[in-house]
Structure 1
């Protein structure tokens, strides 16, 4: 801990000028806090995601009477039945994502501001209960071989509890509560690295496990992980909101607090920066989730025709970017401002997506994964910059907005990419990934422009020194 950090930790933070009432002191710490919580949530989601897509592929193939390209030696790239299976799988993935996310938007906007009053722990427990119930529905569908449409019920239940987005919002708000401004970007990146570690482990386990035992047992593990995570939060996570007070959950005041966050002008162009950074995050997450949703379908079909082992390794390579981005972020922060670190992340992401869009062999596909080694450095920078624009008592409201932005991103991703992919199969199979690379040029321009406009002129810096 630096001298400045130590000073801030022991001195009470005074309120506005002229006020003698100290604000609640932050609990600065370097110890592990909610990182395991996000690890458990991501492990469960990463274990389910590729398996759900593969389950849809197999069930829909069986319904259509299609044996798959593997029985044909993976040589028939024009089989119309394969195109039908790809299209149906893409559309059902769209329906599952939309059903949970649309419901989750309203839940997150209530739970996030509510956590500013009652604390972060309740809003970290509730989503895990919903995620566990979702898996119960999925297991019933698999055991009874019900129509895949019944999977929608599980997604709606999870959405009512805030879904995975509420876990993200609660964890990032928690980190904002306990960190100071200089260290926040790296702590947010550490939290995001937990996403990568969990996703990488779950992807490798899921691919091999499905091949050996099918779908049922991996989903039971995901259920157990969600239950354990809720227990962990209840017993081991300390509350980060020091000035807790009772508050109703179902009230319009929570929505009003979000409106005040973005509707009222602030100092140094706060409102415009909030909008611009939120737009940048919207586009980044849209491309990230849109490409991620299509990866499994892209790898299952001709000409790659990967089996579950290779799909697991590919998903692990995708999640490995969280760790490599964390290491790169820590290194480049020594000589570059956060915004320029984010620009390097955009360059990595764009180049990787371009190569993936042209991949026709396994080595080229993994080359695309490799080029994206620094692609996840952008989101922690954006989250940190958003967090630094608001007050301590607004972190829950802010990250509920961020969660809603990400929810809208998921909706846009599934709507655009899952519709674009089947529509462009006949002239360029990887066009959706190329489209994502072009879209990323917009947030890259936004962050660069905000950074340049925020820099003080040289003469004003000399004036301050004098």
Structure 2
């Protein structure tokens, strides 16, 4: 009788690595992530611009009309104070929206993520995709009916209750861990992150010109359709990656306890300390990514750059292109060096790009900064892979739920820090938040380098990126 591959889907007859399933396209989770990212990539910049127009009383503030003049092109004698007030107001509304999504999403992700270790990944992919579609529907209602922008908070809360985009990330990366092992895991995770870049780049190139031509309503209909398509694919096309599904209660504290055990079980020893340190490094890296992206559109809309929607779209596309260039760079550098040093190279690229953007006063310099970020996204796949290898096969959902919570916390803290720091720096250096982000990245660089040095010592060399052996024996028995 053929032996079933661990983590294989139902009906698998023991194929090595389930290559047949891959060939049939049954285990490709990338389309779910790509569609969800397309929706999010369109929604993020468009929502910021919609708030800019609505709160500034622009001619297209109802979201249905076409192009309008930028506030940068108005009377220069009156522009300064009004523009700074508007930037501050929009930055604060971004904070409110992110805060509303995080507070409810934190509990949803840590509930649904560990639950997926028992019942499978597909249910926790379908639910948040439907939640994102519901949020897009509420945003459309605000635009059509010209409702107050406060109603946008209702969409964020409802999407957060379903797990939001962070749960899709958690389930997709847990799915990748289910179907990969060893050295291939880092590249499989990087491939998923490349899907983030490809979908985000398409959304950026499409969103700017489309919004300029037709306003906000038409692009938001695509957000709604892409979210529904992600739910449909997960429900009817995607093959389940959890082979031994079990009945499990959803509303129980055990799911939260399984996340806590990852970081608190003393039997994990050095692996537990590494898990905490890598999580801290991941938090700092994603904090800078989220924080700088939250203010990029405002930075580009206002003087001295005064970009129009088309240039904003091209800038976002250039930023997302770093996902693809980082995938190629990771694949190439893995041939000559270890993953930790690959991550260090990515951090160097990130620091160089942020410093250049902080000093950008013209469009060519701004795009030079985007170009220097070409390897910046090599860091997060390395960290996700290292974290995944520190957890057992039956804990991948709990682990990536914890990682998703870290990302959600990053979104909240990043918005609070950078959206508050940006208005405070307008009077002396508008680009200072980007310099601040570059300085923060020195901390994860130190953490990753220190762990790599410790692991290379004889006293630590027997501690590999796996759970403590005694703990595994305890599970088996």
Q: TM-score, normalised by structure 2?
A: 0.89
Cα deviation code 1:271-298 (max 9, x no counterpart) = 1011000000111000000000100000
Pick aligned residue for 2:17 from 13, 19, 28: 28
Question: Which stretch shows the higher mean deviation, 370-379 or 258-267?
Answer: 258-267
Partner-residue secondary structure (3-state), 2:183: helix
Deviations 1:369-416 (A, max 9, x none): 000000000000000000000110000000000000001111110000
* Secondary structure at 1:426 match in 2: coil
Shift of 1:29: 4.4
**Alignment map for 1:400-439 (pairs within 5 Å):** 400-439=401-440
Cα separation, 2, equivalents of 1:304 and 1:76:
17
Aligned length: 442
- SS of residue matched to 2:341: helix
1:147-185 deviation digits (Å, cap 9, x = unpaired): 111100000000000000000000000000010121000
Unaligned 5+ runs, structure 1:
1-8, 14-23, 462-466
Equivalences for residues 222-371 of structure 1 within 5 A = 222-267=223-268, 269-371=270-372
CA distance in 2, matches of 1:459, 1:277: 16
How many Å apart are 1:266 and its aligned residue?
Answer: 3.9
Q: Which whole-Å deviations, capped at 9, do the CAs of 1:239-274 have from their partners, x for residues lacking one?
A: 111110111110011011112111102456011011
- Structure 2 partner of 1:37: 32
The aligned runs of 1:208-223 (5 Å cut-off) are 208-223=209-224
Summarize the Cα distance change of 1:439–1:25 in structure 2 as closer, same or farther, 3 Å threshold: farther
Q: Distance in 2 between matches of 1:112 and 1:144?
A: 36
User: Any unmatched runs of 5+ in structure 2?
Assistant: 7-12, 62-67, 463-477
- 2:10 aligned partner: none
* Aligned twin of 1:116: 117
Check the 8 A contact 2:72/2:303 in 1, yes or no.
no
For 2:256 and 2:456, the matched residues in 1 are separated by 33
1:186-225 counterparts in 2 under 5 A? 186-225=187-226
Q: Give the alignment's Cα RMSD to 1 decimal.
A: 2.2
Q: What residue number does 1:452 align with? A: 453
Tell me the TM-score normalized by structure 1: 0.91
Q: Judging changes above 3 Å, is the alpha-carbon distance between structure 1 residues 460 and 355 closer, same or farther for their aligned structure 2 residues?
A: closer
The aligned residue for residue 470 of structure 2 is none
- Distance in 2 between residues matched to 1:50 and 1:238, nearest whole Å: 33
- Cα distance, 1:458–1:168 mapped onto 2, change above 3 Å: closer
Deviation per CA, 1:117-163: give whole Å up to 9, x if none.
Answer: 00000000000110000011101111111111110000000000000
Distance in structure 1 (CA, Å) of the matches to 2:155 and 2:15? 38
Match of 1:20 in 2: none
